[in-house]
Structure 1
Amino acid sequence: MRKITAGLFISLDGVVENPQDWHFPYFNDEMGQAVDAQMSSADTLLLGRRTYDSFASAWPDREKAGAEDAAFAKKLGDARKIVVSTRELEFTWRNSEQLQGDLIEAVTALKAEPSTADIAMSGSVSLVRRLLAAGLLDELHLLVHPIAVGEGMRLFEDADAPLPLKLISSVTFATGVVHLVYRLDDGAPTGDYAKAKASLPQTAD
């Protein structure tokens, strides 16, 4: 079964919208390596239309320019790119196609393909939410920036129910960014205050 990983830039107050407006001051070699590791472990990218349009308008030109980010741009160009949209799309970026049929059924079929490489996601917040809710997202890579943005769409806003997650790894960068990797937690703890109060400091009468 193929693994789906999703990478997101996120502020301390949970904002994931328009990271280009606030995250670049925190981008360093450590973050670059983390992003590259998540994306390079995949041979397929699963993207929402808006994220795809943003990528397609930038990365092909960066690959042609041959600057320091050209190698990463080529990786994205060479990868199979599957775009989720409710409208018919036309593509000019190589190796791009539209996801066909029901989202959950189609992504389940993608995960069952005979490949050992991951399926990577970047951004595509609404798609990340839907796959988390369906139990199809295997790893959530959050690059938590030490800044409160105040305005913008948040990753977990308007959730229908609690979403228990298990922390797999945590790395703090020199910039103060924390790279957190989570997966869904089927064995999340349960309890109430009656259970919790047993862990409170006890004082003698």
Structure 2
Amino acid sequence: MRKITAQLFISLDGVVEAPDQWHFPYFNDEMGAAVDVTLGRVDTLLLGRKTYDSFAGAWPEREAAGGEDAPFAKVLGDARKIVVSNQQLDFTWRNSEQLGSDLIKAVTALKNEPGSSPIGMSGSVSVVRQLLAAGLLDELHLLVHPIAVRKGMRLFEEGEAPIPLKLISAETFQTGVLNLFYAPVESAGEATYDDAKAHLPQTEQ
């Protein structure tokens, strides 16, 4: 079964909306390499419609312009791009197609397709939320920026059911950005204050 990995730029206070307005001062070679792992080394991308529209509105022109970002633009263009939308879409960017109307059923079928490369996601917050809730997202890659944006959509909305995660790896970039890899787990376990207090520092009376 193919894995799905989602990468998000996120602020210290959990904002994921409009990262183009606050994350570029932190974009260095380390972050470029991290983005390449999720987007530049996969053969399939799963994107929400808004993220796809943003990509399709920029990367084909950058590929055609032949600038320093043209090779990465070509990688994105060559990848299979599967778009989640409730509306019928017309595509102009090559290798683009629309996912079936039943998200959970269609993504489950996608994961069962042959292939060893992970399916990459970028942004697409509403899709990430649904896949996490359905247990279909295998890894969540968060690039946590040392800035409190203080406005905008957060990654996690208020809801009834907690979503426990386990930390797979953590790396600190020179800019202070944290590159954190998480995977879902069935449960965070159970504990009370009585369990926790055993780990508090003990002082002599």
CA distance in structure 1 between the partners assigned to 2:58 and 2:92 by the alignment: 12
CA–CA separation in structure 2 for the residues paired with 1:9 and 1:31: 10
Scaled by the length of structure 1, the TM-score of the pair is 0.97
- Quote the offset at 1:39 in angstroms: 1.3
Say whether 1:74 aligns with 2:77. no
Tell me the equivalent position of 2:34: 34
Q: Provide the rounded CA distance (Å) in 2 between the counterparts of 1:70 and 1:19.
A: 21
TM-score, normalised with respect to structure 2: 0.97
**1:186 equivalenced with 2:186 (yes/no):** yes
| Amino acid in structure 2 at the alignment position of 1:66 | G
Structure 1: gaps (5+ residues): none
1:136 aligns with 2:133: no
Deviation by residue 1:66-96 (Cα, 9 ceiling, x = unmatched): 1011011001000000000011100000000
2:111 counterpart letter in structure 1: K
Q: What's the offset of the Cα at 1:204? A: 4.3
Partner of 1:42, secondary structure, is coil
Q: Deviations over 1:36-61 (max 9, x none)?
A: 01113321100000000000000000
Q: CA deviation at 1:29?
A: 0.5
Q: 2:149 maps to which residue?
A: 149
Q: Partner of 1:107 in structure 2?
A: 107
Separation of aligned partners in 2, 1:204 and 1:179: 40
Unmatched tracts of structure 2, length 5 or more? none
Distance 1:148 1:92 in 2: 37
Q: Is the 8 A contact 2:86 2:101 kept in 1?
A: no
Distance 2:37 2:82 in 1: 20
Report the 3-state secondary structure (helix = DSSP H, G, I; strand = E; otherwise coil) of the residue aligned with 1:115: coil
Counterpart AA for 1:131: L
CA contact (8 A) 2:5 2:119 kept: yes
Task: Measure the CA separation in 2 of the matches of 1:134 and 1:178.
Answer: 26
Deviation at 1:100, TM superposition (A): 1.2
- Hey, which bits of structure 1, 4+ residues long, moved more than 4 A? none
Report percent identity of matched pairs: 71
Aligned residue type for 2:162: P
Residue 200 of structure 2 is matched in structure 1 by 200
Counterpart check, 1:87 vs 2:87: yes
Aligned match of 1:168? 168
The whole-number CA distance in structure 2 between the counterparts of 1:149 and 1:101 is: 34
* 1:187 Cα deviation after fit: 4.9
Aligned partners of 1:191 and 1:123: how far apart in 2? 34
Match of 1:135, as an amino acid? G
Letter of the 2:116 counterpart: T
Inter-partner Cα distance in structure 1 for 2:187 and 2:162 = 14
**Number of aligned pairs?**
205
Whole-angstrom distance in 2 between the partners of 1:41 and 1:168: 20
Point out the more displaced range, 188-197 or 45-54: 188-197
In the other structure, the counterpart of 1:4 is: 4
Amino acid at match of 1:201: P
**How far apart are 1:11 and its partner, in Å?**
0.3
Q: Which amino acid aligns with 2:93?
A: W
Distance 1:98 1:43 in 2: 16
